[in-house]
Amino acid sequence: MEQRIGLLDSGLGGLTVLRRMLEHHPEIPFVYLGDTARVPYGHRSPNEIRRIAAEVVGWLRRQQVDAVLMACNTTNALAFDIAEAEAGSGLPVFGLIDCVASQLSCTRVGVLATPATASSGAYGRALRLVDPSCQVIEIGCPAFVPLIEAGDFSDPRLRAAAIAYLEPLLAERVEAIVLGCTHYPLLEDLLRELLPPEVLLVDPAQAAVAQLGQRLGKAPLHQARSCGLHPREVPVERGRFCVTGDAEAFALAAAPWLGWQPQVERVCLRSSVGAF
């Protein structure tokens, strides 16, 4: 029987990870949880993020998934230990940060991330563990997630914010920029336009999906690597989309990124974190 993967994020961002997963492993059943009632996570305190991560992983465990893919860097950076503890033995948890750190071989690396991820220093630690000489500049990008969730990609504030966030990285002549928030691959076209061609843009989801596939003993579909390929529509019985906020708004916003409009359920995680 196919193993079911639980993916978690605060909103739309985790779809970039789901899309990569479906490109390479289109047959994998999944439960996607977008905690849209509490997006953005990246503006919250470490304690809040840890409590939220415990709650979300607990909910996924109760949906009887066989593995958890943290499709969210913020919970990965601040609460990976909590996620593993909540999952318990027998339910593996896959993160993004360690996976990409073990595969990157650049010595000057920029990271664009949420304020919480950037100030946690998680990317710097992971990259320097692999290569102690690696110079890492982590930039918190508070404007990005709220503007992405609002869905207007032509909003001039996105471009202005991108220019400001990239400036210190370009000044330091980084070789690679890690998209350290799963919402940011949705800005790939804009970022690519603003960067010199030699700067590598790295989406950690690629490394995480490869590791997940290996652990599940699945060979990737190599021909799916071409950019912009949408996975095929997933039947509801194989892919469940759940949100804590407005289901219809999420379905509409998700459609362009998935290539089809999913059916979305609103779920209650029995929050003890309270309304924000």
Q: Which of 72, 99, 134, 242 is catalytic?
A: 72
Q: Nearer to ligand DGL by C-beta: 42 or 124?
A: 42
Rounded CA separation 209/24 (Å): 8
Smallest distance, Å, CB 101 to ligand DGL?
15
User: Choosing from 99, 106, 141, 181, which is the catalytic residue?
Assistant: 181
SS3 state at 26:
coil
Taking Cα atoms as reference points, which of 158, 173, 163 lies closest to residue 110?
Answer: 173
Residue type, 169: L
Residue 72 or 83: the one with the smaller Cβ distance to ligand DGL is 72
β-pair partners for 9: 34
Instruction: Map tokens 């949100």 to a residue.
Output: 243
Q: How far is the CB of 77 from ligand DGL (least distance, A)?
A: 8
Smallest distance from ligand DGL to CB 184, Å: 8
- Rounded to a whole number of angstroms, the minimum distance from the CB of residue 231 to ligand DGL is 19
Closer residue to ligand DGL, CB minimum distance, 47 or 64: 47
- Least CB distance from residue 97 to ligand DGL, whole Å? 10
Q: Can you tell me whether residue 144 is helix, strand or coil?
A: helix
* Residue (45 or 64) nearer to ligand DGL, CB: 45
d(CA 146, CA 101): 27
Nearer to ligand DGL among residue 22 and residue 123 (C-beta): 123
Q: Which CB sits closer to ligand DGL, 74 or 206?
A: 74
Q: Quick check: is 72 catalytic?
A: yes
C-alpha pair distances (Å), 168 with each of 165, 174, 273: 7, 9, 36
Give the helix ranges, DSSP H, for the chain: 14-24, 46-62, 73-87, 97-101, 115-120, 122-130, 144-150, 156-171, 188-194, 204-215, 247-258
Binding residues vs ligand DGL (CB under 6 A):
9-10, 13, 39-42, 72-74, 114, 117, 145, 181-183
CA angle 16, 20, 21 (to 5 degrees): 115
DSSP secondary structure string for all residues of 32-45: EEE-GGG--STTS-
Nearest distance, CB of residue 143 and ligand DGL, angstroms: 11
Contacts of 89 (CB under 8 A, 6+ apart): none
Q: Is 141 noted as a catalytic residue in this protein? A: no
Q: What are the residue numbers of the active site?
A: 72, 181
